[in-house]
Amino acid sequence: MNALPEEDRSDVLQRLAVRLTSDTRSMAELARLRRMDPRQPEPAFGIIQDLLGDKSLFASVDHLRRWALIIHCIALARGRHRSQAQGFGEALVHIHFGELRLQQLLRADLTVLFDLLPRIARRMAAQVTEANWWPIATLVLNAGPYDLSSEELDVPDDYHANQQKAEDARLQVARGFVIANASVSDR
């Protein structure tokens, strides 16, 4: 799929968050990213390409949609991604995300993630919560199905490796949530 080496991934999202919050980014561009439907990102393609800079990250329409969802969510969260911030599971506890909602998130396929993640991003923005979005980005980049518009799924050759990466991301979010939730309960 579109997995990047660990050291490169953090740079991409961090660079993206910085570019989204920079003074050079127009309010109209930010509004377009926040309003766009990541399932149909073509109207914002120029902005997406400018933000990512690397055309190889969206070699297909499916990759473009996945990256559009990540960009859309970080834009909705007002650029509050920091690679060194609290983990995503911990951030979910901070916004009072319930265990049932967490189960829904962890069991979600890509189609459900397109609906669920923007809601979470809006909630994080409303509560001014900073998080490391990489586990969620890894999940989005590797979760199936692989082509939302095709009746025949475009399944990559490294399907099993991608599914393992998605599962590892789910476990990372769940682990962070459980640990943070336990420490909140102990107070």
Structural domain boundaries in the chain: 6-185
**Contact (Cβ atoms closer than 8 angstroms) between residue 141 and residue 66:** yes
Please give the pLDDT value at position 166.
94
SS3 183: helix
| Closest listed residue to residue 82, CA positions, set 128, 113, 47 | 128
Q: What is the CA radius of gyration of the chain?
A: 16
Q: How far apart are CA 125 and CA 184, in angstroms?
A: 21
- Measured CA to CA, the distance from residue 13 to residue 157 in angstroms comes to 26
Cα 153 to Cα 170: distance, rounded to the nearest angstrom: 22
CA 183 to chain centre: 26
Helix/strand/coil for 108: coil
Task: Report, as an integer, the average pLDDT of 9-13.
Answer: 68
Q: Is the pLDDT of residue 148 over 50?
A: no
Note the pTM of the prediction, 2 decimals: 0.85
Looking at mean pLDDT, say which of 24-38, 119-133, 172-186 comes out highest: 119-133
User: Which option is the CATH number for 6-185: 3.30.499.10, 1.10.520.40, 3.40.630.10, 1.10.540.10?
Assistant: 1.10.520.40
Q: How far is CA 116 from CA 48, 122, 123, 129, in A?
A: 21, 10, 11, 17
What confidence tens digit (pLDDT) does each residue in 74-97 have? 999 988 888 777 899 999 999 999
Q: What is the pLDDT of residue 76?
A: 94
